[in-house]
Amino acid sequence: MKVGDIYKHLSLIQSAGDATGKEKAQVERESVPKETVNSDAKVDISKTSITFNRVRKLVETVPPERVEKIQRIKEQVVSGQYQVDSKKVAEKMLKESLIDFLEE
């Protein structure tokens, strides 16, 4: 995944979060006549929705150091100065795979 793709995904998450925000809920509440509201109504939130909200909250709380690091790497990529240590990448991939395997 390219660094620029991260920003695309973040903006999609943010815009989706905005679309499901308080304003939309308020409009929906106001558009339903009070006679049709069932006091025994049950709200079922899907696992996907819960996960989405957790990701959105994490994205909103990105530490400034992380933002600076991403910006610095992005500038290095654009200027052609960013060097990938393939050995480190391979080691991390294997480590993560082993951790995932052991957790199963």
Q: How many domains does the chain have?
A: 1
Q: Report if residue 38 sits inside a domain.
A: no
**Residue 55, domain extent:** 3-33+46-103
Q: Is the pLDDT of residue 38 over 50?
A: yes
Q: Report if residue 11 sits inside a domain.
A: yes
Q: Is the pLDDT of residue 96 over 60?
A: yes
Q: Report if residue 69 sits inside a domain.
A: yes
Which pTM was predicted?
Answer: 0.35
pLDDT of residue 71: 94
Q: What is the mean pLDDT of residues 31-57?
A: 72
Q: How far is CA 6 from CA 13, 67, 73, 80, 90, in A?
A: 11, 12, 13, 19, 21
For 18-28, how does the pLDDT look when each residue is reduced to its tens digit (9 = 90+)? 554 555 555 45
pLDDT of residue 39: 62
Q: Report if residue 54 sits inside a domain.
A: yes
